C-alpha cells in the first residue's frame, strides 16, 4: 500500500494491500477549516469518512445545548460508519478542529468496491463492528462513572 498514513487504520485491518488501495481509490479527498461542520446531525447518512489530518469533535445537539461526545485526532480514525449499518439520520455533528482533511466514501462508491470485492465489505463491517463495540464499552463506562457522581 502506498504511504497514506492509513496503514494502521482500524478500518483497514485485515485487508490486503491491493484491497486497501482499491478502497482508498474510491475515496474523495476533502478539506475543512476550523469549526466547519463535516457531518450534520439529523441529516441523511450517506458517507463514511477516514481522518487524513487534523482533528474532529463529535457533538450532539439537544434542546439548544451542544454536548461534546468524543474527539478523533489520529490519522486513520473513522466516523460516519453508522451510515453503512443503519438507514437512520446522522446521530451527531462532526466539527473540524483546526484545519482538517478527510477521505470521504459515499455509499455509491463503496457499493462499487464491495461488488468487485465482497471480502472488502465483510472485512470493513467486521472492523466497524469491533470499533462500535469498543465505543459502546467506553460509553457504558462513562455512564457508570456519571451515575456514581450523581
pLDDT score of 84? 80
Collapsing DSSP states into helix, strand and coil, what is residue 88?
A: coil
Instruction: Give pTM, 2 decimals.
Output: 0.86
Among the listed residues 40, 14, 21, 24, the one whose alpha carbon sits nearest the alpha carbon of residue 124: 14
Q: 111 is written with which cell numbers?
A: 457499493
If you average pLDDT over every residue of the chain, what do you get? 91
* pLDDT tens digits along 101-127: 999 999 889 999 999 999 999 999 999
Identify the structural domains of the chain with CATH numbers, from first to last.
Answer: 17-149 (2.60.120.10)
Among the listed residues 123, 19, 22, 39, the one whose alpha carbon sits nearest the alpha carbon of residue 82: 39
Rounded Cα distance between 57 and 48, Å, is: 16
pLDDT score of 37? 97
Rounded Cα distance between 52 and 46, Å, is: 19
Q: 71 is written with which cell numbers?
A: 474527539
* pLDDT tens digits along 17-59: 999 999 999 999 999 999 999 999 999 888 999 999 999 999 9
Return the axis-axis angle of helices 118-149 and 17-25, rounded to nearest 10°.
80
**73: region left, alpha or beta (phi > 0 left; psi from -120 to 50 alpha):** alpha
Amino acid at each position: 500500500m502506498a504511504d497514506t498514513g492509513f496503514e494502521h487504520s482500524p478500518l483497514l485491518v485485515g485487508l490486503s494491500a491491493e484491497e486497501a488501495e482499491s478502497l482508498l481509490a474510491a475515496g474523495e479527498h476533502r478539506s475543512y477549516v476550523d469549526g466547519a461542520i463535516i457531518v450534520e446531525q439529523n441529516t441523511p447518512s450517506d458517507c463514511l469518512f477516514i481522518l487524513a489530518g487534523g482533528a474532529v469533535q463529535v457533538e450532539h445537539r439537544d434542546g439548544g445545548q451542544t454536548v461534546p461526545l468524543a474527539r478523533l485526532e489520529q490519522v486513520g480514525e473513522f466516523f460516519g460508519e453508522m451510515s453503512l449499518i443503519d438507514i437512520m439520520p446522522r446521530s451527531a455533528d462532526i466539527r473540524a478542529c483546526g484545519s482538517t482533511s478527510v477521505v470521504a466514501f459515499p455509499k455509491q462508491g463503496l457499493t462499487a468496491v464491495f461488488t468487485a470485492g465482497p471480502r472488502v465489505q465483510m472485512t470493513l463491517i467486521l472492523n466497524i463492528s469491533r470499533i462500535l463495540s469498543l465505543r459502546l464499552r467506553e460509553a457504558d463506562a462513562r455512564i457508570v462513572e456519571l451515575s456514581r457522581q450523581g
